[in-house]
């Protein structure tokens, strides 16, 4: 939920800067947009970590409950890709967002 709220808030700030009568694009607005954008990958990393941790705990609980090893024996390549896909997508999104934040600040930093 936090990534969606942050993305919507950043979008509203960006759209509001299109009209100087609403909000002028100064360093405070750049800072707020940057913070809102950076919250997105950070919260997705935390959410992804929490999901994996919960999965491991649930598997351990079920193994104790049934007294048997529930680790999948035949793991196919599509299964591995499906397992890694959320991590890959979060990393791609993080790189894109860091690049966008750099673009927002490049004129201030290099002038």
Q: pLDDT (tens digit, 9 = 90+) per residue, 35-87?
A: 999 999 999 999 999 999 999 999 999 999 988 887 878 889 998 899 899 99
Helices 27-66 and 2-17: crossing angle in degrees, nearest 10, is 160
Other beta carbons less than 10 A from residue 97's beta carbon: 20
What's the confidence (pLDDT) of residue 97? Answer: 93
How confident is the model at residue 15, as a pLDDT? 82
DSSP code of residue 111: -
List the chain domain ranges.
Answer: 2-109
The span from the CA of 14 to the CA of 7, in Å, is 11
- pLDDT tens digits for range 2-34: 788 888 888 888 888 787 777 888 899 899 989
pLDDT of residue 93: 93
Supply the pLDDT for residue 11. 83
Name the 3-class secondary structure at 70. Answer: coil
How far apart CA 51 and CA 83 sit, in angstroms, is: 12
């Amino acid at each position: 939920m936090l990534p969606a709220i942050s993305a919507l808030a950043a979008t509203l700030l960006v759209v509001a800067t299109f009209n100087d009568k609403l909000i002028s694009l100064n360093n405070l607005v750049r800072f707020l947009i940057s913070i809102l954008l950076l919250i997105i990958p950070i919260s997705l990393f935390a959410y992804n970590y929490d999901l994996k941790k919960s999965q491991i705990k649930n598997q351990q609980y079920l193994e104790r409950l049934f007294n048997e090893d529930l680790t999948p024996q035949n793991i196919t390549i599509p299964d591995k890709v499906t397992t890694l896909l959320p991590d890959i997508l979060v990393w791609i999104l993080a790189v894109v967002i860091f690049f966008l934040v750099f673009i927002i600040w490049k004129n201030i930093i290099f002038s």
